[in-house]
C-alpha cells in the first residue's frame, strides 16, 4: 500500500512539474494570441458603436426632420403663398390659383447711357445729312463705274478708298470723302434702302448688288 501511494504521489508531483514547465513555455504564445484577438476586436467594436450606430442615428434623425418639414409644407394653406390671391373661388373675383401679376420696376436710364444714346443719335443725324448731300452721289458713281466693267461688288476702307477685285488682285475704284466720320450702322441702313447688300466687316464696308 505504501509503495502504491508513493507511486501516485510521485506521479502527481511529476505531472505538476511538467504542467508548470509547459505553462511557462506556452504562456507567451497564449498571451500573444489574446493580444492579437483584442487588437482585432477592439477596433471593430469601436467602429460598430461610435461610427456605424452614430451615422444610423443621424440618418434616422435627418429623415424625421425632413418628413416633418414636408408634412408642414403640405399642411400649409394656399393663402400663405404671397403669389396667390386670397379670394373666394366662387365669388368671381379670383381663385387661390390665380397668380398675382407682378409688374417689373422700370430701371432708370443712367446718365452715361443717356449721353451715349444722344451721341449716337447726333452721329446718325450727321451721317444721314452727309449721305444725302455728298455720300450717296459718290457711292453711286463708284457703283455705276464698276457696273460698266461687269463688277458687282466693292469694298470701302475706313479712310473712304474703294477697292474692287479682278483677276489680277485688288484695284482702286475711287474715294468717298467724309466716309471716315460716317456712322456705319446708319450708313448700312441707308444703303440697304437703295438696294445694296451691305456688310460691316470692321476694316471694310462691303457692298454688293445684282448685275
- % of the chain residues with pLDDT over 70: 65
Q: Is 128 within the bounds of a domain?
A: no
Residue 176 near residue 138, CB atoms below 8 Å: yes
Q: Is 155 within the bounds of a domain?
A: yes
Residue 79 near residue 86, CB atoms below 8 Å: yes
- Cα→Cα distances 145→156, 162, 187, Å: 15, 12, 21
Q: All 3 cell numbers of residue 77? A: 394653406
Of 72, 89, 123, the position where a domain reaches its end is 72
- 4 confidence band (pLDDT: 50, 70, 90): confident
Q: Is 142 within the bounds of a domain?
A: yes
pLDDT for 90-117, tens place per residue?
Answer: 444 544 444 545 555 666 656 577 666 6
Residue 70, pLDDT > 90, answer: no
Contacts of 74 (CB under 8 A, 6+ apart): none
Q: All 3 cell numbers of residue 158? A: 475706313
CA angle in degrees (0–180, nearest 5) for 7-9-12:
110
Of 21, 41, 72, the position where a domain reaches its end is 72
Better-scored residue on pLDDT, 22 or 162? 162
- The Cα–Cα gap between 142 and 147 comes to 9
Split into its structural domains, the chain has a count of: 2
Average pLDDT, the chain: 75
Taking the whole predicted model, whether its pTM rises above 0.75 is answered as: no
Indicate the range of 82-91, 161-170, 199-208 predicted with least confidence: 82-91
Domain ranges, residue 195: 134-208
Of 72, 101, 117, the position where a domain reaches its end is 72
Q: Is 63 within the bounds of a domain?
A: yes
* 3-state class (DSSP) for residue 99: strand
pLDDT of residue 80: 45
Question: Which of 155, 171, 167 lies closest to 203, judged by CA?
Answer: 155
Helix, strand, coil shares of the chain as percentages rounded to 5? 60, 15, 25
Q: Is 103 within the bounds of a domain?
A: no
Q: Is 193 within the bounds of a domain?
A: yes
Residue 201 near residue 184, CB atoms below 8 Å: no
Q: Is 161 within the bounds of a domain?
A: yes
Q: Is 98 within the bounds of a domain?
A: no
Residue 154 near residue 146, CB atoms below 8 Å: yes
Amino acid at each position: 500500500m505504501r509503495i502504491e501511494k508513493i507511486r501516485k504521489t510521485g506521479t502527481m508531483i511529476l505531472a505538476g512539474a511538467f504542467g508548470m514547465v509547459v505553462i511557462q513555455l506556452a504562456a507567451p504564445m497564449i498571451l500573444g494570441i489574446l493580444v492579437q484577438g483584442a487588437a482585432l476586436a477592439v477596433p471593430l467594436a469601436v467602429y460598430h458603436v461610435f461610427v456605424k450606430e452614430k451615422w444610423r442615428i443621424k440618418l434616422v434623425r435627418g429623415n424625421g426632420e425632413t418628413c416633418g418639414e414636408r408634412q408642414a409644407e403640405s399642411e400649409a394653406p394656399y393663402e400663405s403663398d404671397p403669389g396667390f390671391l386670397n379670394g373666394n373661388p366662387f365669388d368671381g373675383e379670383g381663385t387661390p390659383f390665380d397668380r398675382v401679376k407682378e409688374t417689373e420696376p422700370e430701371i432708370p436710364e443712367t446718365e452715361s447711357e443717356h449721353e451715349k444714346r444722344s451721341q449716337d443719335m447726333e452721329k446718325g443725324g450727321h451721317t444721314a445729312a452727309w449721305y444725302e448731300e455728298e455720300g450717296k452721289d459718290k457711292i453711286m458713281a463708284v457703283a455705276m463705274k464698276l457696273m460698266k466693267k461687269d463688277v458687282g461688288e466693292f469694298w470701302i476702307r475706313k479712310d473712304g478708298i474703294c477697292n474692287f477685285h479682278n483677276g489680277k488682285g485688288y484695284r482702286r475704284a475711287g474715294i468717298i470723302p467724309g466716309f471716315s466720320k460716317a456712322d456705319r450702322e446708319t450708313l448700312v441702313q441707308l444703303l440697304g434702302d437703295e438696294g445694296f447688300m451691305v456688310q460691316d466687316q470692321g476694316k471694310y464696308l462691303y457692298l454688293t448688288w445684282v448685275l
